[in-house]
Structure 1
Amino acid sequence: MERVEAVVIGAGQAGLCMSYHLSRLGIEHLVLERARIAERWRSERWDSLVFQFPNWMLRLPGFAYEGPRPDDFMPRDGIVEFLEEYARRTMPPVRCGVRVTGLYQSPSGHLRVEADSLSLEALHVVVATGPYQRPIVPALSQSLPAATWQITANCYTRAQQLPPGAVLVVGSGGSGWQIAEDLVRNGRRVYLSVGRHLRVPRRYRGQDFGWWQEALGTADQVVGNVPRSMPPPLLTGIDGGHDADLRDLQRRGATLLGSLGAVEGTRLRFVSDLEENLAKGDAGFEHFCRSVDAHVQRHHLAAPRAPAAPQATGPMERAVQPGVIDLAATGITSIIWAVGYQPDFGWIHCAPFNTHGHPVHSRGLSPTPGLYFLGLPRLHKVKSAFLWGVGEDAAYLASHILDRRRGV
């Protein structure tokens, strides 16, 4: 059995950041990756995806965007190249094509990593497999007609992969909104089932949303101070970045619906909560603008005032909240499930998990000695799963591993 001081599982942004800090502290380690570096960016994102934050926010420990267009938005393939360049510069000890199948505690008290082709024993293991593990597919999907084509958001690549006909996108978070917009831009008839969401301005008072998020300190909020029910903001970098406005998507031809409640043969029944969900999204938009205005005034910043403070657009222009629609009558042939993800840690046999399958931890530290988690949503702060935020958590875990080595 091969022995190593530390093993990092996953070579996305979290795993690469972890390797950087372990190397900086002189801690021997290996990074195991099931496929290729940044695999989910390569194979589980649609072709037209553009990073949600401007290029100047592309930063990892010891490396940041250096190009001539800091205020532009990087396409998906550019993000892959950015992470590949980071790996070339930091030279992490990555073994690609190694799928970890089990993690156990050995009789010696160390951790045993089992993979398809090897067994490792380590004093420390960092699980950095990312936040997007197993897409959620509601049970009611099984009641849909067999002829209805169904995929999850991580399998969507482009409009042309779908069969002819209208498309129903279920879920109005970041993926659902952006996929719906991509379909509308490609001339498809789109129905969007709207749930909880947070609408924010792409730019306000001369700065990008990301700039204000850092200035206000909202990304640095510790998770205990953030309501669990607060969804992430809707953002897009398409066309240089613009507001993610669901009502504007409706004006461009999409039909907005409430939450999907039931499937009855070819008939889909929707909850009458569309206006309520839109109103809650608008409230977040207005709260953000008020927070910026207060921050500008409090710190006497030279931020230009908008000609008119952004407001929620008016009521829907036509009835878009039918209680029931028929797949045949509307021509819907495809459904894209974009309702989120759930953890997939069934291969870990030496750590406690809650009833929802999430690991029990404190700032990434598992109760199991030597086991750590990194890159999960709101692991410690709001920014914990962001490309530009995960490095801080990686530094903390690396320092803890060093202290543990020293017996502190």
Structure 2
Amino acid sequence: MSEREHKTVVIVGGGQAGLSVSYYLSGEGIDHVVLERHKKFHSWRENRWDTFCLVTPNWQCRLPDFPYQGQDPNGFMVKDEITDYLDAFADTFNPPLVEDCSVTKIVRLEDGTYLVDSSKGNYHADQVVIATGGYDNPIVPPYAADLDPAIKQMHSVDYRRPDQMPAGKTLIVGTGQSGVQLMEDMHLEGRAVALAVGPAPRSPRDYRGRDATDWLYEMGHYHMTIDRHPDPVHAMTKTNHYMTGRDGGHEIDLRKFARDGVGLFGSVAGMSGQTIQFLPDLEENLDDADASYVGICAAIDGYIAKNNIDAPVAQPFEKVWRPKAEVTEINAADEGITSILWAIGFRADYSWIDVDVFDAHGRPKYTRGVCDVPGFYFIGLGWLNTWGSGRFLGIDEDSRYLAQAIVQHAKMPVLEAS
């Protein structure tokens, strides 16, 4: 043990989640270190496209004791503004941060403490916080390897601007927030683009005089905790509603893009050579997305009526386009498709954690980030406690709660592990 530096707490991950915990531990005088495999806030700086901006309004940016203080609380910060905000937060205290440091293994000892191995030294810790997020491994399906190599493939994590893609049409796979925004990014540049539409829901942007997220916040939607959610499994597994903050923010109606020349297909079912196969679910997915949209509008309407709020009358909902037929197979060359842009998400990688904190599917087990294994924690994941967990809106509450749990654990005597 003499070759290891002892820390009361080791935090793995130097993004907003890890540094928010560090902020509160610093205030409590808890000895700790933050190990970051790249530079702090790496994902915001390096893994976003050039026109990236927030989807939620700036007022939702609420880092610990450091809320958004700019001139546009109802606007949407672009990438450089986001990193400036994060850097300014880090400058408010002196986090004990070690950058370019990859953690390679964490093991729990019989006395309930932890060994943490890293590329810049090894530690002995009383407690460990995992703040690495869930975006380790970009998802690309196995059948992508069967596609003709002449068709360029790229994952959204590597996309920066339209001119990275070859001349011709790009097929974007995935209609979560990233997929639809990348589609719009290319469409606005006049590039030929098609979209494989999955089952992601969509949301209104401005509705009855306010941003829909403002209404939902006021209605208490974002305060609902996962233990009170009527369908927690669905909440934790569903894709985020798509819309955008670009150019002041607006909703994204895929039917309008189809009307304007964007090709829409159903979910991708397979690929081989120049052949791309789709499920016959395009209209179903569009209808389901609209049902989500209409449901949000109806909930806001009900809130307005119940509270006698004076708000503008909404325009009637209209489906401006429908597919004439379900296309289940195309030849990429015939369609002019020369590239595929994958936007179907990421998988977390916890293979370096040798601690019994995972379920049978490899997902971490916790309550509000606190694991049953004493002294082990997660933060920065979706629905850790509320919808805002993992986002700027909820990170202050989550990190403060975790810091309090850490302080309480630090006051307990070390017991032999069972």
Bin the TM-score by the shorter chain: over 0.9
Unaligned runs of 5+ in 1: none
Cα distance in structure 2, aligned partners of 1:351 and 1:81? 38
Counterpart in the other structure of 1:341? 346
1:122 match: secondary structure: strand
1:202 pairs with one of 202, 205, 211 = 205
Give the TM-score normalised by the residue count of structure 2.
0.93
Cα RMSD (Å): 1.6
1:155-200 alpha-carbon deviations (Å, 9 max, x no partner): 1111111122210111100111111111111111111000111111
Cα distance in structure 1, aligned partners of 2:359 and 2:258? 39
1:269-320 alpha-carbon deviations (Å, 9 max, x no partner): 1111011011111111111111111111222333x223524x142332x647
1:268 pairs with one of 268, 271, 276 = 276
The reply to whether residue 243 of structure 1 matches residue 246 of structure 2 is no
2:320 pairs with one of 314, 318, 324 = 314
Counterpart in the other structure of 2:299? 291
Matches within 5 A, 1:377-396: 377-396=382-401
Q: Which runs of 4+ in 1 moved over 4 A?
A: none
1:375 pairs with one of 373, 380, 388 = 380
Cα distance in structure 2, aligned partners of 1:270 and 1:19? 46
Please state how far the C-alpha of 1:109 moved relative to its aligned partner. Answer: 2.5
Cα distance in structure 1, aligned partners of 2:16 and 2:259? 37
1:326-371 alpha-carbon deviations (Å, 9 max, x no partner): 1111121111111122111111011332343211222211232211
> Structure 1 vs Structure 2: percent identity of aligned residues?
37
- 8 A contact 1:257–1:274 mirrored in 2: yes
Counterpart in the other structure of 1:103? 106
Cα distance in structure 1, aligned partners of 2:243 and 2:371? 32
Matches within 5 A, 1:54-133: 54-133=57-136
Please state how far the C-alpha of 1:107 moved relative to its aligned partner. Answer: 4.4
Cα distance in structure 2, aligned partners of 1:401 and 1:155? 36
The reply to whether residue 134 of structure 1 matches residue 141 of structure 2 is no
Unaligned runs of 5+ in 2: 414-418
2:34 match: secondary structure: strand
1:129-176 alpha-carbon deviations (Å, 9 max, x no partner): 123221211111111112221111111111111122210111100111
Equivalent position amino acid for 2:315 in 1? A
Matches within 5 A, 1:343-362: 343-362=348-367
Cα distance in structure 2, aligned partners of 1:270 and 1:152? 19
Aligned pairs, number: 405
Counterpart in the other structure of 2:369? 364
Cα distance in structure 1, aligned partners of 2:47 and 2:287? 31
- Pair 1:222–1:357, CA change in 2 (3 A): same
Please state how far the C-alpha of 1:227 moved relative to its aligned partner. Answer: 4.5
Counterpart in the other structure of 2:416? none
- 8 A contact 1:351–1:367 mirrored in 2: no
Equivalent position amino acid for 1:354 in 2? D
Give the TM-score normalised by the residue count of structure 1.
0.95
Between 75-84 and 364-373, report the one with greater CA deviation: 364-373
Cα distance in structure 1, aligned partners of 2:400 and 2:73? 26
The reply to whether residue 35 of structure 1 matches residue 33 of structure 2 is no
- 8 A contact 1:167–1:333 mirrored in 2: yes
Please state how far the C-alpha of 1:265 moved relative to its aligned partner. Answer: 2.4
Counterpart in the other structure of 2:191? 188
